[in-house]
Amino acid sequence: MLKPVTRCAVDPNATNALITKISAASIHREPRDTVVRVVGPTLAAMNALDVTDLVEFLQRQESVSGVQRVIAETAPFLLAHDDTQAVVLDRGRGVFVPLTHDETSMLLLQRSSERPALATAATACLARAREGAAVEIEVGTVLTFLGAAWINDALMMAARDAQARGARLVFLLYDLTPVMEAGHTAAVNRLFDRYLNLITQCASAVPAISESSRRDYEFHCTQQRTPAPPGGVTGLPCGLTPGQYDTTESPWPRPYALLVGTVESRKNHIVALRAWQQMIEQIGADAVPDLVCVGRLGWHANEFLHEYVMTHGLGGKVSLLSTSVPDEELARFYAHAQFTVYPSRYEGWGLPVSESIAFGKLPIVASNSSLAEAGRDLAVYVETGSASALADAVRRHGLGRAAREAHEARIAADASAPITWARVADIIRTDMDRAAAAKGRQPVFPEIELNREYMLSVPQPAPDGGHADKYLAHLQSEGLTPMFGQPRGERDFEVVDPAVVGELGSPQTWGVELRPGRRVDVRLRRPADGPLTLLMATRSMPGVAVLDAVGPGGPSRQEVYLGSVVSLALGDGAAGEPAQVSITVLDAHDSVEGFLGLRSFAVVLADDLRAEVAAQRSAAQALRQELDFIQGTRSWKVTAPLRKMKGRGAN
């Protein structure tokens, strides 16, 4: 078994052995936009490990923590298996591209490089992926996601396409924060809903980082009346441990307690601030240690930030370090803290609690979710959301030297076998093997309403209602569907995500793009008996695209003026039966942007000419508006003599 690889202490023998293994892997490279086969013991059983989240994170030159730390620490163990290849997503094409030997070594195995060097390597990796050959997904390929797939809609779309091609998907589940907690933005909540639909409909295995997260997920599936995919529970090791860095020198000039975590409402910094305020009022500022908060600025933390600024950090007793604190400095903060506090309302695990124990420091923790798994019987637990309960626990267990040292002695005497990254990787690998041996998940054919138009884009937030003109324009454009002028559904994604699956580029505010040589499948259950027609609105822009379509209505080839409506026969059948149309763009060179943009779809009766005329009329109006805009531009007027000379019309 390969030894753990950390950013500070790399086993050179283990790393070189793994680099040699990766270098020996047979990767046949083809010209741009062709397919590459990654050769393992058997191709059908090949494992692809998605590391997109980590690579994109490294671009930002931030210290690896949380989700990205899990990828960074487990990837070397998973890649030690000869049948596993690291891949990243090319967002523009919606395909996965294998990392090269050098990229794997630099970004995943030898991460002792400085942040600027890692950022440069990550940027180069993603740029190469835009030109690189894609991994061929075959039936039985296992595609594993360890990162925050819920914040990457392009990644979720690519995962659905891989599953439709026969891949077995494995997702590491961290928590259900947007479901259990109201501390995220509306956009994140919507993405997370899409993520839960994805893993529940498509995953072959869903391991979780805690028993708590796994229970929450199973309860969610019960509420949705759908079975939960199987999955183990990994637990999480400490991201930081003593001995990795020199912690001799204290990073703070006075005695302090430590709170580590992103500054967001869920982490409850406001409770810690008010607990410190109570203690200062009750026993005096000199008897209370400083509170040092380390973490990036997140969201919905206005209340804490307002009180922090207005009180000048309680007169200097509370400090916020919101820039990226490197691991070596964070290790010193842990090593010299008197104790730590963690008042979070909900967690998937609680790494700062485990790290506090690893450094021999007492954590005083809110009693909820997975925090008891992280703190075990070595933490002190308090009522969630109660500043007075936190203040009382700090006074009784943290401020007195004797009480604090008694807790530290219990922590030092703990003989429990620590969770290791090797163990985490082994549990994930077990679920990967479980997925490989399982039958593939059946494709989802969602039920739809006849004559209902479904948008392929995610709703954009409305502008401030204080600007009535902008709000009205938003309602008239974003609020209505392009073909039938219907109010758009806020949860269209529940139908669209499983219905429209293929090699699609990154989602845009207007819809999705389909480039030449790429296909999209539209899958649904017939909403009515008899012959039906699929209508799809395209994005209005100058140009023409040629597409091939194959479905129950037979094959067809169409030349589509961009902005018009594509009409495809779905043939005859009974209501409730599945139907699928596959569309491939053959050519789009005679267009400004080189792709076919898809905005929405609807299914109508084949003889419903009124509905089809309404859709085409809306498309004609959109094209007229586009032409009016173009003809009103200065460049159009300036080039009028040239067009007249060439016989292309001056008007």
Q: At what angle do helices 186-202 and 153-164 cross, to 10 degrees?
A: 10
Asked, for residue 6, whether it belongs to a domain, the answer is no
SS3 602: strand
CA distance 514 to 506: 10
3-state SS assignment for residue 328:
helix
The lowest-confidence range among 96-105, 270-279, 585-594 is 585-594
- When pLDDT is averaged across residues 178-187 and rounded to a whole number, the result is 72
Co-location of 276 and 176 in the same domain:
no
Predicted pLDDT at 182: 58
Least confident of 81-95, 385-399, 420-434, 455-469: 455-469
Closest of 241, 60, 50 to residue 129, by C-alpha: 50
Half-sphere exposure at residue 46, Cβ-oriented, CA atoms within 13 angstroms: 23
Are residues 598 and 465 both part of a single domain?
Answer: yes
Percent residues over pLDDT 70 in the chain: 87
Q: Position 648: which residue type?
A: R
421 belongs to a structural domain? no
CATH code (residue 314): 3.40.50.2000
> What's the pLDDT score for residue 21?
41
- Whether 127 maps to a domain, the answer reads yes
Residues 61 and 200 both lie in one domain = yes
How far from 305 is each of 75, 152, 269, 281, 312, CA to CA, in Å?
A: 36, 28, 9, 20, 10
**For residues 187-198, average pLDDT:** 90
b/e 475-513 (16+ beta carbons within 10 angstroms → b):
eeebbbbbbbebebbeebbebbbbbbbbbbbbbeebbbb
Based on the fold, state whether residues 604 and 510 are members of the same structural domain: yes
What pLDDT digit, counting tens, does each position of 10-64 carry? Answer: 333 444 444 344 333 333 333 333 333 333 333 344 899 999 999 999 998 877 7
**pLDDT above 90 (res 621):** no
Both 206 and 350 in one domain: the answer is no
Does the residue 114 lie in any domain? Answer: yes
Burial degree of 543 (CB within 10 A; 0-12, 13-18, 19+): middle
- Determine the average pLDDT of the residues in 329-356: 96
Q: H or E stretch including 102?
A: helix 101-104
Identify the pLDDT of residue 180. Answer: 79
Q: What is the mean pLDDT of residues 308-314?
A: 97
Residue 180: inside a domain: yes
Residue 538: phi, psi to the nearest 5?
-105, 160
In a domain, 213, yes or no: yes
Find the domain containing 476 and state its range. Answer: 454-625
pLDDT of residue 643: 60
pLDDT attached to residue 36: 35
Buried residues in 275-313 as b, exposed as e (16+ CB within 10 A):
bbbbbbeeeeeeebbbbbbbbbebeebeebbebbeeeeb
Both 173 and 219 in a single domain? yes
Residues 399 and 488 in one domain: no
Classify residue 197: in a domain, yes or no.
yes
User: Residue 418 falls within a domain, yes or no?
Assistant: no
Number of domains present in the structure of the chain:
3
| Same domain for 209 and 72 | yes
Is residue 147 pLDDT above 80, yes or no?
Answer: yes
Same domain, 96 and 187: yes
Same domain, 67 and 152: yes
What is the per-residue pLDDT across 221-278, written as a single tens digit (0 to 9) for each? 999 999 999 999 999 998 788 988 999 999 999 999 999 999 999 999 999 999 999 9
Which is higher by pLDDT, 181 or 212?
212
Confidence at residue 26, expressed as pLDDT on a 0 to 100 scale: 32
Shared domain check, 566 and 616: yes
Residues 286, 408: one domain? yes
Tell me the CB-side half-sphere exposure of residue 156, using CA atoms within 13 A. 24
